[in-house]
Structure 1
Amino acid sequence: MHELPSRDRIDRFFLITGLWVVLHVSAFTTGKAYSAPAVALWTLATTISYAFLYLLPALIPGYLLYGWLKRRQATRAGAAALACLLVGLTGAVQVLLFADRTIYGMYGFHINGFVVDLVFSPGGIASLGASRSTELTAALIVVALLALQAASYYWATRRVAEHRPPRVLPRARWVLLAVLVLTVGERLAYGFSAAVNYQPILFASERYPFYLPMTFRRLAARLGINTASETVEGIHIKPSGLSYPLVPLQVEAPARPLNIVWLVAESLRFDLLEPHLMPNLWEFSGQALRLEHHYSGGNATQMGIFSMFYGLYGNYWFPLIKAGRSPLLMDVLQQQNYQFSLHTSQSFTYPPFDKTVFLKMKPGDMHALSGGPQPWERDRQNIDDILRFIDARDPGRPFMTYMFFEGTHANYTFPDDSVIARPYLEDFNYLSADFAGQMEPIKNRYLNAAHHVDRQIGRVIAHLREKGLLETTIVIVLGDHGEEFMERSNRWGHAAEFNRYQTSTPGVLWVPGEKPRVISGITSHLDIPATVMPLLGVRNPPGDYSQGYDLLKPDFHRDYAVAADWHRIAYIGEKFKIAFPINATGVIRQEVLDDDDRPVSDPDRAKDEIRPAMVEIMNNLTRFSRPKG
């Protein structure tokens, strides 16, 4: 390329790219988007106008650089720089749209703060557990999309023989005018739909990344249009401080403090606690407290681990990490001179538990094995190290050890001797797997991985028993959250819904001197600190530092559990599970499910039935984030 292309050829490149992006964006829509003429017209207008919007990060710098180079009569180097910029930026748009579509198809949400945090936090990408074939496929897709843009640029800017008739292409100003008309029409149609609660368009808007809702209810009312009531109830909170705990703790350290062994498995859902799947944990649960309807404080690792250590709703993550506040439970353990050995087969930096749960821990007490061997191998190595720590500890001081198993995280890894479910998918490629058609062999991988995790749990329990430590050690076994295999929401994994499959985990609690029993009612991760703190000599009632209840109290009863993600809070009761957005803008579809995780026929009636609980939840959302006094 020896000279700068003409402006017409740059326009042609962006027009071609715009058509590719329109095709890409149209893949976000479904057949329902064309079920009625009005919805079909809105979908067409939105697809085209948002394709232009998504291209703006390439259009603006591209034209600015072109104008700058044109004024300076750029040579070959300038033309090459322009080509690289345009292909790179437009290729990045295509890659991001593909990534967003993949995320939305799997989990039901677009690229958001959670995804950005995952990408830029140390250990975030590794936590996905993608197989080598998935990584290779992703790399090939990125290369293919960049190659597509390079080919488009070459075709649009190539020299054309003089004898060939010029192609008639729309001028850039006419394309811009058409996009503007479609944008205004789409905005007006959405605003009208919001005013009259026309749900086909409102819910279709959820499928577009970064959709910007616009409503004009007041204007519609003035024009005499019958407006509908808001269809989505949300909760708006404004934390104004931090009051954690509400009052200072009163602690009388026990003369013989109990040791603590805390075992957490990634994505370990409730129905894995069966004799044929997890025989060691099943047998141990018969000697301990077995929590049959136990719920995580979230549908992802961040909120799940946070809630079991702090005993607070997941939304408190944000003010507590901002304030740099460790959980009171860990503070008390440090004050009582516990020895620590904290292990994970992933990372302490994603989610950033090194800045929350384990904020005050010594680096030498934190052992993360990530990368290298497969997760099941790292799990086994961590258990080897924990058993060595137990044997080498100072017997004159209590100890606390924590383990996070990664083997049950997708893509679910296990050794050959842990295979109990066949057939299983040999190569689980996230990008090429037929999830609908291969869900059973994918789930069989998960069952095999859980069986291996159970073996490692069994090793710990057997070692404690062999060393005579069970009678002086609290043992806690939980999942951070659940895992769904398209049983209810037609989605695989977690972090998308609040049904039982994604939020409920096994719960086994061994406390020396407690009689074995089954708690068949609802329990929560939030109850763990409220149960352990009194055993450490904390005299305050749990309400001073937690939103949980003491599981060891004879009158223990919980009417409902609460789970959270980045933008929602969910009520989980015996009859209903209802999720509400927090500080949300625009239309966000609510989950209103029955006890079998099926959509209810009358959502408004369900919400009316739980209104007292919702008032309580709203108060609790800011209970520990208000100024003292």
Structure 2
Amino acid sequence: MMGRWTGAGESIRKTVLFWWILFVVVQAAERLFLLGDALEQETPSVPLLLTTLLVGVRGDFITATFALVLALAAAGAWTLVSHKWDDLRRSSTLCARAFHRACPVSAALVGLLLFVLLCVDMGYYGFNRQHMDFVFLEYLGDLFAPATTTGGTNVQAMEQTSAELGAAGKWAWRLTCFLALQAACIGLWWWSFSTAVVPVLDRWRPGSGFQANAFLVVALIVGGAGFHHSGPYGIRIAPIGSMVYYTLAQNPVLFASEALRIAWVSRGGGERPRSAGAMPYDLAVRTTQGLLGPAETFVDPRYPLVRTITPSPDSLRLPTPPNIVLLFLEGLDRRYLGQTYGDVKGTPFLDRLKDDSVYFQHFFSNGVQTSRGLFATLCSSFPRLGAAAMKTRYAHDYLCLPSLLQRQGYHTEMVIGQHRDLNRLQTFAARNGLHQLLHEGDFPPGTERAGVGIVDGALFDLCYERITQLQADHRPFFLTTLTLSTHHPFGAPDRHPDVRVLRQRVQDQYVAALRYTDLELERVFTRLVREGLLRNTIVVILGDHGRHEPVGHTDIERKAGHFASPLFVWMDESLRSPATYRPRTVSAVASQVDVAPTLLALSGGLPSLGSFAGHDVSCLLVRDCLPDRIAYLTSVYDNLVGLASADGLLLYSLSAETFQEATLDFESMPEDEQSRRRLSAARGPDLLAIHDVANSALDSNRLWSWREFGQRL
């Protein structure tokens, strides 16, 4: 039986093993080469580097296994085509020999394809610091599409390609070094296999060919899963906080395959279901452009929201780029501020902070879930009504606050108390400018948890440590965080007597959880101020949305309450002057999409071209201005869209195709029919136009393009 290890079967097994590991080697060699690019951006610690390389090799084994399966399938198909089935069935030796001859050829062809992909990825990473993504696939689509179907974009793609090929000096040396490294690694594996692996295999004598085959199959299955029970998903959720090294750890083929999936999903994004009498799309575009940028120039019809940005004469700019701390308090609802329950105040610290801040009393979240609130705030883009963009359109191009601050020299990071893959946050963050993402695994062992994750007190403590470190680096920083204790089931610790009393006295447990968050925020915020750690710092506090739960006295309040986030803008004394800051309550309408352009204006980083759905509202920090601001709202809970303006609040049910109107404080409009229809008649077309254009542009990846506009910022 031992003899069954020898002969054609043995040769096939050796061939399989050789090519399998060779596929891993060429991918690992590319990562080793790209490590030089990563080191230019960030110097890693030894554990971070080891984790990056280990995760990368796991992904390489996944891709190598699938490449090997493809090669074996091709070899099997060729064997069947080149020999008669009856001959193969009569002679297992003939079958094995024919298959053995086909294996190296098919493996070499698959390996060549893989090598070409790695060369392209190497070049793209050097240019964009990303693996092959949606943008790259879109570029290929433009390059090879007929001119009549792409509006001339293939001409631009050809010109760009020609220019790149003409600048051989930029990439020839890089490609030469890459090929040399690959040749060295391939040669090293070839020599190692011949001199070390083959002798070991020759000395090994399994009990039967079946046992040898079973051992090899099990190894392939384990390798194909990336040595992790989650398979490719385990690579995507790798515990790497640095976005530079998280990107480096991702396997380029797996990364590109996900981008291809997104591209396929987006193919129909531009097709809009049209109801009878709906506004023509070109009119909807003009209407939306008139609302978002009446005095600005829209530069490309393919990207309906990209326009020039001219700073307003009233816009404020601070003397030096400030540090920015952006706090998302889970489900923070302005209806719960300033409330007293018996003799216990619900939010005494936030109430006092309101008096020392610029407080926006008619601020709105643009969506009703965390992923939508983060997207709207960080990228100044309206959330889509269907599945959240961060979850399903994360590979698209966006012009986001962290990316623009990073271009200004800011360090950017985020701290969360859940897993880093929350709403595909890690993947989204790696593409949109965050240097560092700290999650539940970065807290000390034994950190208190309650409800859905780390309690807010521990979260604020880690933020305190990060701010202390970032202030010591003498570099402007952007830090954002998202709390959890006010998320259902409101599992906040009740060690403080106020929290215990409210738990017993108020049936709605959100109230007690909010009191806990208020206490912990006060503790850490006052410590930061006392120790001077907020010098040269702007602190922005808002909700990711209003209450998840439908809370209110009327139907429209229960629907609109999901958007009832407040906004606090606080500046350290070192930044305050009569010309830049006057604590007060602002009555103008604003929303989450206004946050990014406002912070960029204050820091001096507002780009000259952008796709922002919001506007710079920094003038409101010192005076009344911008009386005609609007806020666009979307709710997947009630399948509705809305528009808030100085005239009031207008909601439109996409299911019932009916309008509802209310004041900005969610009170009912006058009962007479003429008044009831005034707002819907005036603002209804505007609302539906924004809904149509915003969703279409997002779904078809036409919000922004770094390839088209990145050099024009």
Q: 1:377 to 1:321 in 2, by over 3 A?
A: closer
- How far is 1:410 from its partner? 0.9
Q: Is the 8 A contact 1:241 1:626 kept in 2?
A: no
Q: What SS does structure 1 have at the residue aligned with 2:455?
A: helix
Find the partner of 2:582 among 515, 520, 545.
515
1:202-255 Cα deviation digits (max 9, x unpaired)? xxxxxxxxxxxxxxxxxxxxxxxxxxx98x9899899995567535999xx987
Q: Which moved more, 1:476-485 or 1:317-326?
A: 317-326
1:493-531 Cα deviation digits (max 9, x unpaired)? xxx987442211121001332121210232211211121
Structure 2 residue 449 is matched with structure 1 residue 383: no
- 1:64-83 pair list within 5 angstroms: none
Counterparts of 2:495 and 2:280, CA distance in 1: 49
Structure 2 residue 628 is matched with structure 1 residue 561: no
Q: 1:268 to 1:299 in 2, by over 3 A?
A: same
- Which structure shows the higher helix fraction? 2
Counterparts of 1:235 and 1:502, CA distance in 2: 31
Question: Which structure exhibits the higher relative contact order, with contacts defined as CA atoms closer than 8 Å and separated by 6 or more residues?
Answer: 1
Q: What SS does structure 1 have at the residue aligned with 2:360?
A: strand
Q: What SS does structure 1 have at the residue aligned with 2:512?
A: helix
- 1:58-457 pair list within 5 angstroms: 242=303, 245-246=306-307, 256-274=320-338, 276-315=345-384, 318=389, 321=393, 323-356=395-428, 359-360=431-432, 364-368=436-440, 373-375=449-451, 377-393=454-470, 394-418=472-496, 420=498, 441-443=506-508, 445-457=509-521
Counterparts of 2:690 and 2:376, CA distance in 1: 15
Q: Is the 8 A contact 1:292 1:507 kept in 2?
A: yes
Counterparts of 1:519 and 1:310, CA distance in 2: 23
Q: For structure 1, which runs of at least 5 residues remain unmatched after alignment?
A: 1-120, 123-228, 427-439
> What TM-score, normalized by structure 1, do the two folds share?
0.52
Aligned equivalent of 1:609: 682
Q: Is the 8 A contact 2:332 2:547 kept in 1?
A: yes
- 1:518-529 pair list within 5 angstroms: 518-529=585-596
Counterparts of 1:310 and 1:362, CA distance in 2: 12
Q: Is the 8 A contact 2:404 2:433 kept in 1?
A: no
Counterparts of 1:450 and 1:234, CA distance in 2: 44
- How far is 1:289 from its partner? 0.5
- How far is 1:459 from its partner? 3.0
- How far is 1:365 from its partner? 3.5
Counterparts of 2:374 and 2:562, CA distance in 1: 14
Counterparts of 1:565 and 1:609, CA distance in 2: 22
Q: 1:313 to 1:464 in 2, by over 3 A?
A: same
Rg larger for: 2
CA RMSD in angstroms, aligned pairs only: 4.3
- How far is 1:478 from its partner? 0.4
- How far is 1:535 from its partner? 1.8
Q: 1:373 to 1:591 in 2, by over 3 A?
A: farther
Q: Is the 8 A contact 2:415 2:482 kept in 1?
A: yes
Structure 2 residue 613 is matched with structure 1 residue 546: yes
- How far is 1:534 from its partner? 0.9
Identity %: 18
Aligned equivalent of 1:594: 662
Q: Which moved more, 1:284-293 or 1:322-331?
A: 322-331
Q: 1:322 to 1:405 in 2, by over 3 A?
A: closer
Q: Which moved more, 1:561-570 or 1:610-619?
A: 610-619
- How far is 1:416 from its partner? 2.0
Q: 1:362 to 1:618 in 2, by over 3 A?
A: closer
Q: Is the 8 A contact 1:542 1:549 kept in 2?
A: no
Q: Is the 8 A contact 1:577 1:594 kept in 2?
A: yes
Q: 1:282 to 1:611 in 2, by over 3 A?
A: same
Q: Which amino acid letter does the alignment assign opposite residue 482 of structure 2?
A: F
Aligned equivalent of 1:149: none
Aligned equivalent of 1:482: 546
Aligned equivalent of 1:79: none
Counterparts of 2:568 and 2:679, CA distance in 1: 31
Q: Which amino acid letter does the alignment assign opposite residue 545 of structure 2?
A: H
Counterparts of 1:578 and 1:452, CA distance in 2: 34
> What TM-score, normalized by structure 2, do the two folds share?
0.46
Counterparts of 2:514 and 2:411, CA distance in 1: 29
Aligned equivalent of 2:565: 505
Q: 1:366 to 1:590 in 2, by over 3 A?
A: farther
- How far is 1:479 from its partner? 0.7
